[in-house]
Amino acid sequence: MELIFLWLLTVGLAGYYIGKSRGHADTGCCLGFLLGPIGWIITACLPPRGGAMCPFCRERVQPKATICPHCRAERTPPP
């Protein structure tokens, strides 16, 4: 029983980290938990979510934002 729980926890966390880099952390966790390695592949194939990364806190922000809503740092939007 413990091995099953450990397996589900591991595949869910791996899916979370695969999805986090593409902006789909929640989807990656669910797909990894439900489908295992197949969910990882599906998550890796998803298109990245829109938005730019804040250079200070590494959170996604709107592309035209001049202030990050997470850390309140000023940033210059792309032209």
Top pLDDT among 78 and 40 is at 40
Q: What is the DSSP string of the chain?
A: -HHHHHHHHHHHHHHHHHHHTTT-HHHHHHHHHHHTHHHHHHHHHSPPPSSEEPTTT--EE-TT-SB-TTT--B-PPP-
Q: What is the pLDDT of residue 54?
A: 84
CA dihedral (14, 50, 55, 12) in degrees, to 10, reads: -10
Q: What is the pLDDT of residues 62-74, one digit of tens each?
A: 878 888 888 998 8
Q: What is the pLDDT of residues 7-63, one digit of tens each?
A: 888 888 888 888 887 888 888 888 988 898 998 899 889 888 767 788 888 888 887
Q: Provide the whole-model pTM.
A: 0.60
Q: What is the pLDDT of residue 79?
A: 61
